[in-house]
Structure 1
């Protein structure tokens, strides 16, 4: 991936000389396999829960309802335990992300990534040999621990090793691998659905593959200079910085890292410091972004695409194939974000994505309301049109709110609150993913097609958030966000008024003339 593939940006990116080195590219690709783990699990669970062999063994009541109780198209999969199979992972991820934030700060990003892969391999193996629902849920909890550790460490790792002007595109590699994982899972589900009666075991066991690749690859990646300096290894941090930047003239960036580290040391408790007034803009934007990302309804599509397509009248094979198509659209569209985010900026992608999702979601809901009643089968022409709308929805999410949901929170927090702030962002993402996964099938049964209008209303709100509240962060050095972004924003600058007596903020102001 040559440097010319990414557009150069102004701001902090041009202040410090840096090349897009092969070291950074290799480390980014390896670390991004944490996204492949996450994506594979998102894609695999929906396909497995639509397989009859899996339902017969673990959820016979759902199997009976699916095949014999034809009274309601919207309620055939409504089962709390079936939803718990999907959503339990995210409860574990919330808890794990807290410990991962501590691990990132105390031990470094690299060991945290390694722990993520170990948790994931163990969970995948347990799911593969599961004899009862208890083993299945325990395996899911271990997978959740892997997701929590991986999603906490990987975006931070990539943002910290990437030069500022390439940070957006490189960080989106994480989300790109998420989409590749979803696509791989959909393709595997399509194949294993014919492998009776143990095809679901192959699908669940496949989760170990990206985790093993990440575990082996993590042995050769470097630790981030930020983490090394933060843990007192200044000389090693300087050597690593020169290595990943490909130049010896890194004094300015190194001094910025030292300055940020000193501020972080003054903030004895990063979680307490995060509650101060001057940290509120980053905390609010970083967490509410995660709420909005889940309330687009994207995980309804990703988790339950085969189930949703079966509800609309597609057969088992056709529904899995439709999920493969949406997964492919997801992958291709994420590439758009990689090559445009550092050229057009974050806000333009977010706004365009919200408009396109709003249109697709609204039309989808209208078609289902008119043509899919409780007991009929939707005409093929309309069902295929819904698949097209799903693809339009997925594509817009994939180049906007999907990848930027991980990029923006990873780049907006100063070092003194970075691990704690990103923990809140990750845990909020996992919590609302859990809420959506645990409630969707029940909401689908109760609200029917109205649920799509529910998500559309939230998309309208988050579009307004992207226009008016969220600042642009393109090309700004990660440790200069306060001075160059938040203190100049029309709304958030009030949190940095003279009345704020935060010592860390005073130190930044005192140092500002030197940095300029």
Structure 2
């Protein structure tokens, strides 16, 4: 009995340490929300009054975008090679390269170095969303990092990247070691932080799952999702206390730096604590260190179960993986579209741009930051409720209800802004939207992704996750282009973009209703048989 208590205590402590990766995930992705206005003032407004600086910055912006597209293109080319025969894959890649390259060249690269309204908003949007490029890269590196240097060591690298990004993003001019200006330096450090987010999003759940005893694994892995939304709420509080009572000039010159620098505190704690937790037994066994693996298993599961678990781990390495299309295209498309809709309903626009959205509703800076804390609290509360109820109500029902409520909320918010109804109605619609997402598409999408893919093609989940980050990047990048476009603002008073997200919520609900099977109470073997039947029909 004493051994069980000791082992369970050790598991919980290890889970808390690993979940700091999730907390930093939420912290890093949400910290930008309080700094958007200051970043625009510090980096974008200065370009309007300096033609030479603007021309130089636009050139560097084009270079960064080109490198990012190249990196993402190589990643998705590797996915295409895993789906198709090599000859077919090369033809598809060549076709995408020619068509996409032509569009990119004529519609972007050849644009003159003049700061037009759309280009200005594009630069701002990319500044805010640039970390997501790193997320795509980091998530794609996660599997290789896990199998080469290990889950724990991969998280150590993630913590170092978080720490470097926190310092570099807060003082990009002092830490500018790149052949570019301060704007370029800031974007690069945000991408570095994004790589840390991508690694943590992949490795933290894997580390927890491999360390936790089977009986409490689900609860402990779901704690990582709770840590993510907690990180978002924490940074909303931090941002609020930084700007509270301060002038706009101070926020624009100094305050935003403290927001990014504050991440260095949890990042440093995460880094230090990781040196006191063990490598996972699965990784130790993979590297031939069975003695070390047995020692960890004995501590966490007791001596009676340790030998059995070690034997199961060794047996799992003999299982062969199947081709990614072994179960047909349907399961692949369902997983990818789930990931796309999770972002296209507009959640990260709210999380990244919340203070600006509230200021657009007529609120002062302090009040808008306080409203953002309420957004974070609602997000955390309803995420916890979703974790507690998803096994009771079922995945499909929660997702369809969530889609319906999000559609009503977003379309209603669009009309509230269009009719210039500011204050409480708009705020309530925003909070209703957050609650609906947190109860459905936020956590339940991850549950569905973990359940619909059979074990033999589990690697396809990497494609779905990469597409999810890409969709996040597209939505976050394009929001300022819609929300700050003078013609759209004059016609729709900032309501246009919310109608787009509302339409996406409607389509997401129809997609769940028509194409996504209910996975509640079904084993992974049941799901395998389901996809086999669909493939044969």
Superposition TM-score tier, normalisation by shorter sequence? 0.7 to 0.9
Matched, 1:298 2:347: yes
| Structure 1 equivalent of residue 255 of structure 2 | 199
- How many residue pairs are counted as aligned between the two chains? 446
- The higher relative CO (CA closer than 8 Å, separation ≥ 6) is in 1
After TM superposition, list the pairs within 5 Å mapping 1:10-21 onto structure 2: 21=8
Q: Among residues 13, 27, 32, which one is paired with 1:40 in the alignment?
A: 27
Q: Among residues 141, 155, 159, which one is paired with 1:117 in the alignment?
A: 159
1:394 Cα offset (Å): 0.9
> Please, what TM-score do these two structures have when normalized by structure 2?
0.74
CA distance in 2, matches of 1:343, 1:238: 37
After superposition, give the CA deviation of every residue in 1:38-76 in whole Å (9 maximum; x if it has no partner).
Answer: 21122221210123xx44332225999xxxxxxxxxx99
More helix by share: 2
1:116 Cα offset (Å): 0.9
**CA RMSD between the two structures:** 3.3
After superposition, give the CA deviation of every residue in 1:4-62 in whole Å (9 maximum; x if it has no partner).
Answer: xxxxxxxxxxxxx99993333222222221221121122221210123xx443322259
Matched, 1:389 2:438: no
Matched, 1:493 2:532: yes
Q: Among residues 318, 333, 357, which one is paired with 1:262 in the alignment?
A: 318
Question: Is 2:23–2:230's contact at 8 Å kept on the other side of the alignment?
Answer: yes
After superposition, give the CA deviation of every residue in 1:256-281 in whole Å (9 maximum; x if it has no partner).
Answer: 54443212xx44xxxxx553323756
CA distance in 2, matches of 1:253, 1:201: 48
After superposition, give the CA deviation of every residue in 1:337-387 in whole Å (9 maximum; x if it has no partner).
Answer: 233334444334333322322222232223223x13xxxxx44xxx21111
CA distance in 2, matches of 1:233, 1:251: 14
CA distance in 1, matches of 2:534, 2:299: 38
3-state DSSP of counterpart to 1:318: helix
After superposition, give the CA deviation of every residue in 1:377-404 in whole Å (9 maximum; x if it has no partner).
Answer: x44xxx2111111111111212322123
CA distance in 2, matches of 1:36, 1:46: 16
Question: Is 2:22–2:224's contact at 8 Å kept on the other side of the alignment?
Answer: yes
| Structure 2 equivalent of residue 127 of structure 1 | 169
CA distance in 2, matches of 1:160, 1:472: 27
Q: Among residues 424, 446, 453, which one is paired with 2:463 in the alignment?
A: 424
Change over 3 Å in CA distance of 1:180–1:90 after alignment to 2: same
3-state DSSP of counterpart to 2:275: coil
After superposition, give the CA deviation of every residue in 1:211-261 in whole Å (9 maximum; x if it has no partner).
Answer: 222222222334344444444445554554454345724677655544432
Change over 3 Å in CA distance of 1:424–1:261 after alignment to 2: same
Matched, 1:349 2:398: yes
3-state DSSP of counterpart to 2:327: helix
Q: Among residues 3, 8, 24, which one is paired with 2:11 in the alignment?
A: 24
Q: Among residues 480, 498, 503, which one is paired with 1:441 in the alignment?
A: 480
Matched, 1:289 2:338: yes
CA distance in 2, matches of 1:50, 1:301: 15
1:206 Cα offset (Å): 1.1
After TM superposition, list the pairs within 5 Å mapping 1:396-411 onto structure 2: 396-410=436-450
- Greater alpha carbon shift after TM alignment, 246-255 vs 283-292: 246-255
| Structure 2 equivalent of residue 153 of structure 1 | 203
- Greater alpha carbon shift after TM alignment, 205-214 vs 337-346: 337-346
Gaps of 5+ in 2: 50-116, 174-181
CA distance in 2, matches of 1:235, 1:417: 31
| Structure 2 equivalent of residue 58 of structure 1 | 43
CA distance in 1, matches of 2:508, 2:277: 37
1:162 Cα offset (Å): 4.2
Question: Is 2:324–2:460's contact at 8 Å kept on the other side of the alignment?
Answer: no
1:82 Cα offset (Å): 1.5
After TM superposition, list the pairs within 5 Å mapping 1:30-109 onto structure 2: 30-51=17-38, 54-60=39-45, 79-109=121-151
3-state DSSP of counterpart to 1:428: helix
CA distance in 2, matches of 1:221, 1:246: 18
Question: Is 1:44–1:204's contact at 8 Å kept on the other side of the alignment?
Answer: yes
CA distance in 2, matches of 1:406, 1:37: 19
1:431 Cα offset (Å): 0.8
1:126 Cα offset (Å): 0.8
CA distance in 1, matches of 2:451, 2:502: 28
> Please, what TM-score do these two structures have when normalized by structure 1?
0.77
Question: Is 2:207–2:280's contact at 8 Å kept on the other side of the alignment?
Answer: yes
Change over 3 Å in CA distance of 1:84–1:43 after alignment to 2: same
3-state DSSP of counterpart to 1:313: coil
